[in-house]
Chains A and B, each alone.
Chain A
Amino acid sequence: DVKVTQSSRYLVKRTGEKVFLECVQDMDHENMFWYRQDPGLGLRLIYFSYDVKMKEKGDIPEGYSVSREKKERFSLILESASTNQTSMYLCASSLSYGNTIYFGEGSWLTVV
């Protein structure tokens, strides 16, 4: 079975802190994604990556950056956390376009 692992399930951070959310997949997938999920808004794409060191902005990239130094790992970085970034963050991966996308279990981030 494909496994997408988000190492931190629940985090509480202070405003202004730098936050790292880590995601690892074990199926040699080309594509990796970061979404945030908010009630009534569904899932919104923050960034995605289709190869190592490659990234593209999604629909809501402001306030976020990403890093993909290795194929299996995709990190989401909040340079200076703000309260409006309190949300659930979901990492996902897929082999290529049109293939099934596999999700991690999510990281709940609260910024106080």
Chain B
Amino acid sequence: AQSVTQLDSHVSVSEGTPVLLRCNYSSSYSPSLFWYVQHPNKGLQLLLKYTSAATLVKGINGFEAEFKKSETSFHLTKPSAHMSDAAEYFCVVSTTGGGNKLTFGTGTQLKVEL
């Protein structure tokens, strides 16, 4: 079985300040982990993914995430928020034992204020 917990449903930051979106996972197998972003009325776009290579993963638009097996975490960070980062973010886990299924977190709404 696998599961994902996004610890914050809403995060609000000021433009130019760091962003931290938290994600914990549970998996019986070696997981692949993803972060997706969804802008209003749009589909989901891949930000980055971890598939058992380097534990620090760099993605698009300055985002990165670190896989920490001991903490079962995969938090998403960005050094400096931009207004265009305002969107909903989903942490996703996939495992071979999961039958090629993805399990999504419930999402974190990021608000960026001036």
Q: Which residues of A contact B (CB under 8 A)?
A: 4, 31, 33, 35, 40-45, 48, 50, 56, 58, 90, 92, 96-98, 100-106
CB proximity of B57 to chain A, nearest CB, Å: 13
- CB contacts (< 8 Å) of A50 on chain B: these are 100
Q: Which residues of B contact A (CB under 8 A)?
A: 9, 32, 34, 36, 41-46, 49, 51, 90, 92, 94, 96, 99-102, 104-107
**Cβ–Cβ contact A98 & B107, under 8 A:** no
The CA of A31 and the CA of B98, in the complex, are separated in Å by 14
Quick one: which of A42, A100, A106 contacts B106, CB cutoff 8 A?
A42
**Cβ–Cβ contact A42 & B42, under 8 A:** no
**Cβ–Cβ contact A97 & B42, under 8 A:** no
Q: Is the interface of A mostly helix, strand, loop or mixed?
A: strand
CB proximity of B94 to chain A, nearest CB, Å: 7
- CB contacts (< 8 Å) of B90 on chain A: these are 42-43
